Structure formats: structure tokens, C-alpha cells
A and B are shown apart, each in its own frame.
Chain A
């Protein structure tokens, strides 16, 4: 009985990608995916996604630790707010970032006035947009892992005289490792696919802010032949994303629960 809906679900998820493969023009595909524009966009995408993932780790791990151990309504509210980028349309995220860090933004106008720094239209803006949309994946994944692991081992270690830093390093983080790995992979994949917030906040300049998703949209918007390039670039991104997910799967430490 489960087979029918399961097959439908799998079909809905997989068939669009199949259609993409079917539609691809294999005669021009090699040229399309190796064109300078495509390589530039892919390199920029990979570079910014790695940077954003590192930012998510550096900032998100502490946040997850704080959330996992915090109680009370303030923690609940913070948890809800942290989840927000996950459910908001990315375009809303882009507008919000623009209103925060844009030239007339809450913080952006001060940056401009004091340091002459403007963030929109820069590679940094791409990384910020990607970090914004990807962070919840790491924080929520890790927080769940931390809660599942509980605090018993930490309490024991502390009672045996381990300092807080030692407990974190030797007990908490190793226990949460699967959550960190899973979260990191999702972060990277999400950053790689980020479009909406980047389009609104960072704009699209080849080599500076034009990531793969923007290059694809740009090619798709062009009439005629460039749509072939859009399909080719889409395939390239699909292959890259599947590769990331497969590699992550292989590296995942042994674990019992999903």
C-alpha cells in the first residue's frame, strides 16, 4: 500500500531532473559547461559556498550549543527566529539583508559613513546571503543532535574534574559529530543552490557576484540559444550537488538513529 504514494513521491522528486537530462543538447553541452562564463560561475559558487559553510560552522556551532542548553520562553523565541530563514522565501531574506546592510540600511549606512564600506554588489554580499539561508540547517541539525546526546556524559566528566573547555572538546562535540557533519553538508548544498537572497542583495556581475544559480537564470532569460546553456549549467549544478551529497554520505560516521 505504501508503494503507490512512495513511487509518486520519488517520481516527483526525480523526474524533473530526468527531464533536464533528456532536454540537454549533448552536442553543445561540453562547450556550454566549459565556457569561461560557466567556469567562472562555478568557481565563484564553490568558493563562496565553502566560505559560507565555514562561517556557518564558526558562528552556528556556538549558537547551537547555546540553544541546546537554554530553556525558557526566550530560548523558544530565539529558536523560532533562527529557523525563520529556512521557511522565508529567499527573496524576503534578500530584501531584509538589503535593508540591514544596504547603503541606506540600518547598519549599512553607518558602515558607509564611517568606513566607506558598501556591501551590496560584492562577493562578500554573496557569502552573507548564503550564510543567512544556510545557517539554520547547521544550527537545527546540531541542536537536535546535542539534545539527543543529552548532558549525562558532560556531567560525569565535569564531576571527574574536567574543565568546561575539555568537556566541550572531548565529550560534547564528538557526541554531536554526526549532527555537525550532516549540518555542514546541508549548509554547503544550500549555499550552492542559493538564488533569491543573492539576486536581491548581491546582484549579478560575472566573476564577482554571479553564482551558478544566477548564471542559469540569466542564461534562461536570454532568448534562443542561451537557454541551452541554462540547461547545461543546471545539469552541472545537479551533478555537483549530487556529488557533494554522496561524498558526505560516505563520510558520515557510524550512527544508529537517523
Chain B
């Protein structure tokens, strides 16, 4: 009958978002042997040691929306730490990953698409160190290429749904759905959804296949989708900026590598790779 504490009342202050990390410690240094960089904070611990002595295989659990951007980040990380290999990143819904971790799945690093989910893992004492937000994402209206229904605002989106157009959103239980609700609330409009999908990819697919006339997805998804669809920026999206925290896990097989990877997420090479996929630095 034991239930993880995550399923009870979340502790609001449990998550510490470290705004400024001394990540420069593992930035690109001047070749092998230069292990003299000093750590300026105690929190990053082993991550702040020299780049070249890191070894081992890293297992990363990451929110589905980070694919494939995080693959590039992982490649950049390996380029800086040749002794490290990164197992194929396991991408899935943040909640699914959190549940898997709570049920004992082994991993070194977790990156979720929202703070709430991360909180459930932090509350369960599964993390080592603090979760740090390393990137953000915002919603965009997605419409088929050419924008046949001429959607330019959230008011247009609401009007479209009232006129019988098919507008799909994420279910309120999942992060993109929660964000959609906030954004629509900020705009003061009510959209009657044709369907509430389980994840942002399902929303995108419904628009891509022409089943839906419009949807609300992340900018990164629109970029990923290619020419079938286009994104429409809406100012209200700023009301629900999605923060992506990452953390090294307490049971990490490679604690030092895990900490180094989390710190690496905030460095320029990682941020550049993320930016290329539509993510925005926090």
C-alpha cells in the first residue's frame, strides 16, 4: 500500500531552479590535459572537474519534445568528452518517464518538459543535486501549409472552432494541454476542441494529415514538422512559457558524467543545438 510521495501533496518549494550555474567549468577547454579549471560552486561538484577524465555510458531520459535536439547536444557532449558514450536517449512523455523512474527504471539524467513532473521525481528523493532549467519552449498555433482558414490569432482559433472547424489541443493533464489552457485563458477566448490529444505529436499529426484545421503545439514541433504545416505566433504564448529542467539522478550509474551532462546543457554548444530546433535559452 505504499505510495510514492509524489502522488500525494507536491511540495511546492521542492524544486530549486538554479539560474546561474558555473557551467564554464566544462566548456570547451584548450585540449587534453588542461584539467586545471577550478570549480566556482559547490553544487556542481564532480561536474566541475576536468573534462578528459570522464568515462562511462550515460543513460538519459528526456521529454519527447526534446527529440532530436537533445541527440545533437549529446553528440556535442561526447565530442568534448571522448571517454563518454551516451546510450540512445529514451524519449517519452515527461510523466511516463517520471513514473518509470519512480518504479525503478535505471537512468543517469532526467530532462522533463515541465517543472511539475520534475517536482514529483525530486519529491521522491530520486535526484542528486538541483534541477536546473536549461531551455524553454512556447506554444504556436499550427495550421496546414498556406493557412487555408486564415488563422492569425487565438480569437480566430476560437471562431474557427465555433464555426465547426476542427481544432485539436492537448489534454489538460499533459504539459502542452496545461499550457494551451493558460494561453487561451490569457487571450480570454474559449476553443471547443474536436479532440484532446495525449501529446503534442498527436495534435501535430492531426493537422499534418488534414484531419484537423488547426491546433496548439510548441514552436519546436512546427519546425520539426516540415512543409506540411506552418506556425502562427500569438503574443499570449508568452503567458505559458514551458521550462525544461534537467537533473542528475541519485542512482546514476555514472554520477560524475551525469552531473557534467546536466551542466553541459547550459553551455554554448548545447544552447546552439537547442536554438537550432526552436528552443529558447531561459
Contact = CB atoms under 8 A, between A and B. Distances in A.
Nearest to A227: B7
B97 to A, nearest CB: 11
Interface residues of B, number: 34
Nearest to B205: A200
B194 A224 contact: no
Contacts of B174: 218, 221-222
Interface in B152-173: 166, 168, 171, 173
A87 B6 CA distance: 38
A98 interface: yes
Nearest to A99: B209
Contacts of A204: 171, 195-198
Contact of A203 (B7, B99, B119, B194): B194
A25 B3 contact: yes
Contacts of B94: 223
B193 interface: yes
Interface string A219-233: 111111111100000
Contacts of A223: 94-95, 98, 114, 116-117, 119-120, 173
B90 interface: no
A120 B207 CA distance: 13
Given A223-B95, A223-B116, A203 B196 contact: yes
Q: Report the contact-size class of chain A (Cβ under 8 Å from the partner).
A: 20 to 34
Contact of A218 (B1, B166, B196, B210): B196
B211 interface: yes
Contacts of A205: 193-196
A102 interface: yes
B195 A121 contact: yes
B210 A103 contact: yes
Interface in B84-102: 93-96, 98-99
B206 interface: yes
Nearest to B118: A223
A199 interface: yes
Interface string B165-191: 010100101100000000000000000
Interface string B10-37: 1000000000000000000000000000
A25 B6 CA distance: 13
A227 B211 contact: no
A114 to B, nearest CB: 17
A98 B209 contact: yes
A228 B5 CA distance: 12
Interface string A108-122: 000000000010110
A102 B171 contact: no
Contacts of B116: 223-224
Interface in A23-42: 23, 25
A32 B10 CA distance: 19
A206 interface: yes
A244 B209 CA distance: 37
A32 to B, nearest CB: 12
Given A102-B209, A226-B173, A220 B3 contact: no
B181 to A, nearest CB: 13
B3 A203 contact: no
B210 A102 contact: yes
Contacts of A206: 196
Nearest to A210: B196
A234 to B, nearest CB: 14
Interface in A139-161: none
B246 to A, nearest CB: 17
Contacts of A209: 195
A164 B198 CA distance: 51
B193 to A, nearest CB: 7
A218 B198 contact: yes
Contact of A104 (B117, B197, B209): B209
Given A204-B195, A205-B193, A223-B94, A23 B3 contact: yes
Interface string A76-97: 0000000000000000000000
Given A103-B210, A104-B210, A203-B168, A221 B173 contact: yes
A224 B171 contact: no
A22 interface: yes
Contact of B211 (A22, A25, A120, A218): A120
Contacts of A224: 6-7, 10, 116, 120
Given A199-B202, A204-B171, 15 more contacts: A121-B195, A203-B195, A203-B196, A204-B195, A204-B198, A218-B173, A218-B196, A220-B99, A221-B95, A221-B174, A221-B199, A223-B120, A224-B120, A226-B173, A227-B7
10 contacts: A104-B209, A199-B198, A218-B173, A220-B96, A221-B93, A221-B173, A223-B116, A224-B6, A224-B7, A227-B99
